């Protein structure tokens, strides 16, 4: 008979390995993304800062790799920390150019365990990336700056 402690230890180990796998992929992409050329300036590139919940005391580090897609769409690949955990998710947004910057919006269902459907809006101006998010039970802000090598 296998002891309960052994099973719990094994499950915790599996969860740690699974949760770090996505982060490892993001860190590799982060390192290899490199600096964005002048032609790609705007939303494209690497961004780093923090996220803060407006409804709780949660917050943490935040990184984003923004890559242009076809038309006015961008792929935003986020890596965030909360407490001792970290995770990644991708978000496709629609981007509109405006005076001295860009506005974007999108939504993503992060699953019931993570709060369900989130809506995102934001603005990029020069080296600042500011965004707001909202779900049924949470709302907050992202504040990042462009990473330059």
pLDDT (tens digit per residue) in 42-56 = 788 899 999 999 998
The CA distance from 135 to 47, in Å, is 23
Q: Which domains does the chain have, with CATH numbers?
A: 4-146 (2.40.128.120)
Q: Render pLDDT for 41-97 as a digit per residue (tens, 0 to 9).
A: 678 889 999 999 999 888 999 999 999 999 999 999 999 998 888 888 899 999 999
Percent of the chain clearing pLDDT 70 (strictly above)? 72
According to DSSP, residue 136 is labeled S
Asked if residue 18 has pLDDT above 70, the reply is no
Q: Say if CB 106 and CB 94 are below 8 A apart.
A: yes
Nearby residues of 128 by Cβ (< 8 Å), 6 or more positions away: 143, 144, 145, 146
Q: Which of 99, 148, 147 is nearest to 125 (CA)?
A: 99
Instruction: Please give the model's pTM, rounded to 2 decimal places.
Output: 0.75
Kindly state the average pLDDT of the residues 25-54: 72
Q: Where are the beta strands (DSSP E) in 83-148?
A: 85-98, 101-109, 117-125, 128-134, 139-146
Nearby residues of 117 by Cβ (< 8 Å), 6 or more positions away: 107, 108, 109, 110, 135, 136
Q: Residue 110: what pLDDT?
A: 86
Give the residue with greater pLDDT, 55 vs 113.
55
Q: What is the mean pLDDT of the chain?
A: 80
């Amino acid at each position: 008979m296998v002891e309960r402690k052994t099973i719990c230890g094994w499950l915790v180990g599996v969860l740690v390995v699974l949760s770090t796998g996505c982060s490892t992929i993001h860190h590799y992409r982060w390192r290899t993304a490199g600096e964005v050329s002048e032609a790609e300036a705007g939303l494209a590139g690497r961004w780093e800062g923090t996220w803060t919940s407006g409804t709780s005391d949660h917050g943490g580090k935040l990184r984003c790799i923004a890559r242009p897609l076809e038309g006015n769409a961008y792929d935003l690949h986020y890596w965030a920390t909360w407490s001792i955990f970290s995770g990644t998710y991708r978000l496709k947004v629609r981007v509109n150019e405006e005076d001295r910057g860009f506005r974007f919006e999108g939504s993503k269902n992060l699953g019931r365990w993570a709060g369900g459907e989130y809506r995102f809006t934001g603005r990029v101006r020069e080296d600042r990336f500011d965004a707001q998010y909202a779900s049924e039970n949470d709302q907050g802000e992202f504040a990042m700056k462009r990473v330059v090598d």
